[in-house]
Structure 1
Amino acid sequence: MRAASLNFRDLVVLRGQHGRAVQPPLIPLSDGVGVVRAVGAAVTGFAVGDRVSPAFFQNWAGGGPPRDLEIGRLGGPLDGVLATERVFPASGLVHVPGHLSDAEAATLPCAGLTAWSALFGDAPMRVGETLLILGTGGVALMALQLARAAGIRTIVTTSSPEKAARVSALGADLVIDRSATEDWAKAARAASDGGVDRVLELGGAATLPHSIKATRVGGQIILVGNVTGNTAELFLPAILTRQMTLRSVTVGSKQGLMALNRALAAHAIHPVVGRAVAFDDAPEAFRALEAQATFANICVQIGD
């Protein structure tokens, strides 16, 4: 292993809140990149020295999700990537884009693919549509970069003037600083001619009702995160009477990861890494994630 990246899910696992199927002892983290040290005699498509990432779902090659989807997750219930060496079946690996650093490539299997699936999975967005992105974590910023490359207009909410400036520098069409704009849903709706086409909903319970208000008639809310809580109270007529779609995205398949990697290579997109720590300092990476003080992805450098 060369590098690993943290996601909010890793905190949930660490706290023992991911259900009875995810129990210690467990190697944590699901986002990572490594270099092939050895291959089995029957392996084709990979060679010693190749730089690869393991797919988040080791049992989801492509198409619709399998019925046993939950048992194939890296970082719980399967051992994850925060280790110096790991063994994987060749069917669970993909090559990573050559223009990326180890830390950048380490963000792709979970965070990167989640953003890709939300924008270009079962219901791909189109040129000229408007996407509302909540926050400035790894999924959010990857979605911003992918949307820009695809000609999609972007509105991003964030929590401070400093983060707002950094998001603007990444090319967001509009940034709403929640510390200065209390009703961010109203602001997003006003800036998008009656509501946005799609919301990348990363907050959860506290933000979902506002995301509904920001969405146009016939729009979509892609539910990805639950940072602010697991139980939301919704005003159902706001969804039922406006032909809105509320659907969830849980990372994606190996086929989707390969498609993401091709898009990143074609557009020379680099995931944003906000902080990197040494392998021996991995607990500090978890503390930084918990404090929500870091802009973009937090990574652990493992190998040279």
Structure 2
Amino acid sequence: MQSWSFKEGFGLDNLVKTDEVMPEVGPRDVLLEMHAASLNYRDLVVMQGGHGRSVAPPLVPLSDGVGKIVATGRQVADFAVGDRVCPAFYQHWYGGAPPANLEKGRLGGPLDGVLATHRVFAAETLVRIPEYLSDAEAAALPCAGVTAWSALNEPTSLRSGETVLVQGTGGVALMALQLAKAMGARVIMTTSTPAKAKQLRELGADDVIDRSKVSNWHHLVQEMTEGRGVDRVLELGGATTLNTSVKSVKTGGTVLLIGNVTGNVAELFLPLLLSRRITLHAVSVGSQETFRSLCKVLQFHRIRPVIGKLFDFDDALLAFGTLESGEVFGKVCVSCQPDRNK
């Protein structure tokens, strides 16, 4: 088997492909032949060494992937050879409230991720995925897909007729757009280029705000909602967009804190929150139970994650650079079998 791993340190110069011995399968484990993996913004943070001391090399990167079971331990009863499954992002969050040691169970740091041809997982950490999805589409689900679904259902579920504002065109944003439309909501999207604005409308967005053409875009949101504001905002930007999100949400509305791509430290004008009873709610992917719920919804509505580009296994380094450029609309993925796309 082969894997990509940060060996001596972080940074792309330290991400190397190596040959390894095929791992052994324990009595409650399964061996996956990995078919595809997808990248998230979090993987860039890991690559840059920005995830703290708990995430350290040597480390196999990427949390999101899909594979086919090629061997099972003798105590495994719920899965069989040939099943196609995704490992859950949180390997120890099965359902209900998150465990106290939540961060310790994440794939792609601190636990080894899925950028490999084969991986062994405990059977209880796997989720079956809809058969109509391609390998790349299925690989987009464990982090980005589950995060989007969680953001539309926490702390309460989005209802038909409500309006949701979603920032950007990343994997979480595009999945949230499709899911929210399936739930009967009006969706306002923000983006940074006219080309991406056009693509968002084609994907089903009701309104799109091109941030390259307007500053203080919360004024546009207020106009689009006749001064009421949106019911919830999926806040994916971070420090520089949080105040604008708060100004865009209705009195009594909710801002879902998901990403921090523009910075880790934000200043908030507290009267905007206190006087309007705004809820700030942090979303951190979700449990395996949430993942299974997402799969049922995808199956019913036949929703497909948007795939921007699929790289061969040998070109994994290029995938990181492509995601970092922000030029691709949709998920950046890697085939985990060297000859699978040839």
TM-score range, shorter chain: over 0.9
User: Which of 150, 153, 162 is equivalent to 2:186?
Assistant: 153
Q: Which residue of 2 aligns with 1:98?
A: 131
Residue 208 of structure 2 aligns with an amino acid whose one-letter code is V
- In 1, distance between residues paired with 2:175 and 2:285? 13
- In 1, distance between residues paired with 2:153 and 2:252? 18
Shift of residue 296 of structure 1? 1.5
Moved more, 134-143 or 175-184: 175-184
Q: What stretches of structure 2 of length at least 5 have no aligned partner?
A: 1-33
Residue 152 of structure 2 aligns with an amino acid whose one-letter code is L
User: Which of 276, 281, 284 is equivalent to 2:315?
Assistant: 281
- In 2, distance between residues paired with 1:44 and 1:81? 23
Superposed counterparts of 1:1-304, under 5 Å: 1-193=34-226, 194-303=228-337, 304=340
Shift of residue 121 of structure 1? 3.6
- In 1, distance between residues paired with 2:218 and 2:196? 19
Higher strand share: 2
Shift of residue 181 of structure 1? 2.1
Moved more, 284-293 or 201-210: 284-293
- In 1, distance between residues paired with 2:223 and 2:114? 43
- In 1, distance between residues paired with 2:135 and 2:214? 37
- In 2, distance between residues paired with 1:131 and 1:217? 14
- In 2, distance between residues paired with 1:299 and 1:138? 11
Query: 1:37 is paired with a residue of what secondary structure?
Result: strand
Query: 2:291 is paired with a residue of what secondary structure?
Result: helix
Residue 240 of structure 2 aligns with an amino acid whose one-letter code is A
Residue 5 of structure 1 aligns with an amino acid whose one-letter code is S
Residue 212 of structure 2 aligns with an amino acid whose one-letter code is S
Residue 10 of structure 1 aligns with an amino acid whose one-letter code is D
Shift of residue 122 of structure 1? 3.4
Residue 248 of structure 1 aligns with an amino acid whose one-letter code is A
- In 2, distance between residues paired with 1:109 and 1:252? 9
RMSD: 0.7
Contact persistence 2:155–2:281 (CA under 8 A): no
- In 1, distance between residues paired with 2:312 and 2:222? 43
Residue 254 of structure 2 aligns with an amino acid whose one-letter code is Q
Contact persistence 2:37–2:115 (CA under 8 A): yes
Q: What stretches of structure 1 of length at least 5 have no aligned partner?
A: none
- In 2, distance between residues paired with 1:283 and 1:185? 38
Shift of residue 13 of structure 1? 0.7
Moved more, 6-15 or 120-129: 120-129
- In 1, distance between residues paired with 2:263 and 2:324? 14
- In 2, distance between residues paired with 1:181 and 1:128? 27
Moved more, 26-35 or 290-299: 290-299
Q: Give the length in aligned residue pairs.
A: 304
Shift of residue 290 of structure 1? 1.2
Query: 2:120 is paired with a residue of what secondary structure?
Result: coil
TM-score of the aligned structures, taking structure 1 as reference length: 0.99
Query: 1:2 is paired with a residue of what secondary structure?
Result: strand
Change (3 A) 1:219 1:121: closer
Residue 23 of structure 1 aligns with an amino acid whose one-letter code is A
Q: Which has the larger radius of gyration?
A: 2
- In 1, distance between residues paired with 2:270 and 2:325? 33
Shift of residue 178 of structure 1? 1.0
1:208-257 deviation per Cα after TM superposition (whole angstroms, max 9, x unaligned)? 01101111100000000000000011111110110000010000000000
**Structure ranking higher on relative contact order (CA contacts 8 Å, 6+ apart):** 1
Query: 1:88 is paired with a residue of what secondary structure?
Result: strand
Identity fraction in percent? 59
Query: 1:86 is paired with a residue of what secondary structure?
Result: strand
- In 2, distance between residues paired with 1:54 and 1:114? 15
Query: 1:120 is paired with a residue of what secondary structure?
Result: coil
Moved more, 143-152 or 172-181: 172-181
Shift of residue 302 of structure 1? 1.3
1:2-40 deviation per Cα after TM superposition (whole angstroms, max 9, x unaligned)? 000000100111111101000000000001000001000
